[in-house]
Amino acid sequence: MKNSKFVVRGGNELNGEITIQASKNATLPIMSAALLADGSIKLKNCPNISDVANMVKILKSLNVKVKKIKNNYIINPQNASNSQIDCELAKSMRSSIFLLGSTLSKFKTTTISMPGGCKIGARPIDISVNSLKKLGVKVVPQGDCLFFDATKAKAKKIKLRLPSVSATENLIQFACKLKGKTVIKNCAREPEVVDLCNFLNLMGAKIFGAGTSKITIIGVDKLVGVEYQPIGDRIVAGTIMIAVAICGGEVVLKNGVPYQNKKLIKILSSMGCKINIKNDIITISRQNKLSSAKLISTGCYPSFPTDLQSQMLVLSLFVEGKTRIVETVFENRFLIVGELKKLGARIKTLNNREVEIEGMQFLKGGEVLAQDLRGGASLVLAGLMGKAATIVSNIACIDRGYDSLEKMLSRLGADIKRQ
């Protein structure tokens, strides 16, 4: 599947109903936190994506027993005995960094290499490392790896330099069994952080303040095995909603987590989409030409998510007027621009953080290269409005976060095939 391509032919409306997969960004740290349990964990309806498969490989390399039954995972960490995360596996996936907090809590020492993932810009792990140092963790460089020793760690109050998701989730996992009270200020507020805390609290942890900028953790001695289902994926839901805005039609999204996508829903509504919400179900329709959103700027939650920026850039190609997009999170998030220009897109790069998009009717189709997860999915969306076939290669990076994107879109009427 590594050299597979998507062949997309445009012109079709999207109509029908779809159930949104469980969140990649919630499932991965929860799988990591399962390492802390004193019994078996059952995670239900996990997404069938390559990042989850890689996380399973890493857990197994730590001698954790993992069994898959359909889309459910049974994780038994009771005989885990290896505290060194395999370097090659870690390099295959950015989310391997989430294991830093859990392995350090489980074994008191751990060794990790620099994690891999999409090349969308600098994503240093220094916030995680420096925060652990403040708790008394000793960090020693060993070649391309870092060795951590938590035998003398102590709970205390710390403040993050930036509201980093990975640092917040690592500290939460590490502090769950650390004696005393740990307070994290300026922490990440993302829904996936809240979901991790809900999972750990169900296991018996004492975590307070999830979803705010201050989280308090009181260490406990034991975390029990539980069953848990991660929340729906707000980025996948957003991608499908934006696809409908591009193509027209009407789609019902079950497990659409509307409360997590308030910014997107507000923007799409202002552009002319009709959106109805009932509990966890989103119905979106688009009949007429949309107007420009004028300005979209990304930021930490609850601001507009950087993971939906590329998709909105593509949508902005098919609206009335010009749109300016400002990327404040990652400096290389506009890798997609060069690929879209191959299809005839009119995009002006103002600087590495800002672009201006001129609305048009269609793209001409052609061959493009997916260079990162969200940008790759966005090239597929661009193909949905191509006059000729659009061939998207290197789709392994798309499979990291989307559970069969081609099947989702085909089910709604799109002409897309994997080759």
> The tokens of 106 are what?
């489980």
> The tokens of 322 are what?
């010009």
Q: Round to whole Å and give the CA distance between 275 and 269.
A: 7
* DSSP label of 291: B
Is 273 a catalytic site residue?
A: no
At a CB cut-off of 8 Å and minimum separation 6, what does 389 contact? 7, 8, 9, 365, 383
Closest C-alpha to 34, from 80, 69, 71, 95: 80
Alpha carbons within 13 angstroms on the beta-carbon side of residue 65 total: 10
CA distances in angstroms from 352 to 10, 118, 283, 317, 338, listed in the order given: 30, 17, 35, 19, 13
> Collapsing DSSP states into helix, strand and coil, what is residue 275?
strand
Catalytic residue among 46, 87, 118, 247: 118
Q: Round to whole Å and give the CA distance between 393 and 242.
A: 21
CA distances in angstroms from 341 to 331, 335, 338, 348, 382, listed in the order given: 19, 11, 5, 10, 11
Write the DSSP string, 21-82.
PBPHHHHHHHHHHGGG-SS-EEE-S----HHHHHHHHHHHHTT-EEEEETTEEEEE-TT---
Scored b (16 or more CB within 10 A) or e, 318-337 reads bbeeebbbbbbbbeebbbbb
Q: What angle do CA 367, 371, 375 make, to 5 degrees?
A: 90
Q: What angle do CA 104, 110, 113 make, to 5 degrees?
A: 120
Scored b (16 or more CB within 10 A) or e, 393-407 reads bbbebbbbbbbbbbe
Write the DSSP string, 117-160.
---SS---SHHHHHHHHHTT-EEEEETTEEEEE-TT----EEE-
Write the DSSP string, 349-365.
EEETTEEEEE--S-B--
Residues designated catalytic = 118
